[in-house]
Structures are given as structure tokens and as C-alpha cells.
Amino acid sequence: MVVTWRDRRLIEALADGLPLAARPYAELGRMAGMDEDEVIERIQAMIAKGIITRFGVIVRHHELGYRANAMVVWDIPDDDVARVGEAMADFPFVTLCYRRVRRPPLWPYNLFCMIHGRERETVLEQVEQVARGCGLENARRDILFSLRRFKQRGAIYRRDWPALELAAGTGG
């Protein structure tokens, strides 16, 4: 799965989202130094290759009343984590589910899932449902509710761009 250097320029231009203007792909093209058709073709190609998993509106859960945002972390035996991760991802309210590196003794957990809900109690009940459904009643786990969002935006990747291209790209 190859992301070309021109793709990266486009991805950088997209970090703050599609401009809210009549010809947004033309504007993205101006930022990335390519024409409107190339912008559209590159986005289509990245979707087709699975590099972009979705393209559309990205909502802020909190402002829509989803104030209970829980990151649930589990300590699952390494030889069972694939089975459990797949079972967990099947719950409709689980929005993300990842296996991550553990860092014992500070951090024993290797499986992470996200649950967004309107009420803390509902989310806690959903965590119990996941535990029962995946046979994890006795697994060590922790629930980290978010208290505040300091920052949320698209990722940018421009640190390694040659200076010349940077100057020609976004103009800063």
C-alpha cells in the first residue's frame, strides 16, 4: 500500500478538512500544487486502496450530547487477544478496538476499545455486556472516561517535506 509523495501533499492540505466553498477540490489543489481533477483522482485512489477508510463529515461526539466517552483497556493473554479483539469489535457501540503494546509494570493492558455514550451509566453497562460477551468477567481492566478535549484535528505529516515544496505548497 503505497502513499506517494504527491499523496502526502494532498493529505496535508486535507488536515483541516475540505474547504467550505463551491469548488473545494480546486482549493485543495491550490494548497497541494495540483489541479482539481488530480485531487479527486488521488482521493478516489486512496479510498480504493483502503488508505482512506472513510471520507465525509467527522462529528464531535461531545457537542452532540455524547458526553460519556470511555476508553476501556483490558489485559488479555497474548495468545487470545485476536479472538477477543474481533469479538469486541462486533458490538455495535464499540467504535474502535486496537491491540497495543503493553508496558509493564506501569501499563499492563494490551487491548483498547472506545465507547461513546450519552450517559456514563449506560456506558458502564455496555462495558459489562462486552465483558460477559467476550468471557472477560475476570480479566483485569480499567475504564478511562474523558474529562476534557484539549485538541482534535486531522493528522499532518509535513515535517520531512523538502523546504522548497513546503514553500510552494500551503504558503505556511
Partner 1 sequence: MDDLGRRLLDEFQRGFPLTLRPYADVAARLGVDEDTVLDALRALKDMGALTRVGAVFRPGSVGVSTLAALAVPEEHLEQVAALVSAHPEVNHNYQRDHRFNVWFVATATDRESLKAVIEDIEAETGLDVLCLPMLESFCLDLGFGLQWS
Site residues (CB under 8 A) for partner 1, limited to 58-87: 58-64, 71, 81-82, 85-86
CB within 8 A of 150, min separation 6: which ones? none
CB within 8 A of 6, min separation 6: which ones? 32, 34, 38, 42
Give the binding range for partner 1 (CB under 8 A) out of 92-100, 124-132, 133-141, 164-172: 92-100
3-state secondary structure of 103: strand
Question: Counting contacts by CB under 8 A, is residue 162 touching partner 1?
Answer: no
Site residues (CB under 8 A) for partner 1, limited to 4-23: 7-8, 11, 14-18, 20-23
Question: Counting contacts by CB under 8 A, is residue 151 touching partner 1?
Answer: yes
Question: Counting contacts by CB under 8 A, is residue 147 touching partner 1?
Answer: yes
Instruction: Indicate the Cα dihedral angle 121, 123, 125, 127, nearest 10°.
Output: -140
Question: Counting contacts by CB under 8 A, is residue 153 touching partner 1?
Answer: yes
State the CB neighbour count (10 A cutoff) for residue 109: 19
Site residues (CB under 8 A) for partner 1, limited to 116-135: 116
What are residue 113's DSSP bridge partners? 72, 97
Give the binding range for partner 1 (CB under 8 A) out of 38-46, 128-136, 164-172: 38-46
Least separation in angstroms between residue 137's CB and partner 1 is: 20
* Residues 94 and 114: beta-carbon distance below 8 Å: yes
Looking at the Cβ atoms of 49 and 132, the one nearer to partner 1 is: 49
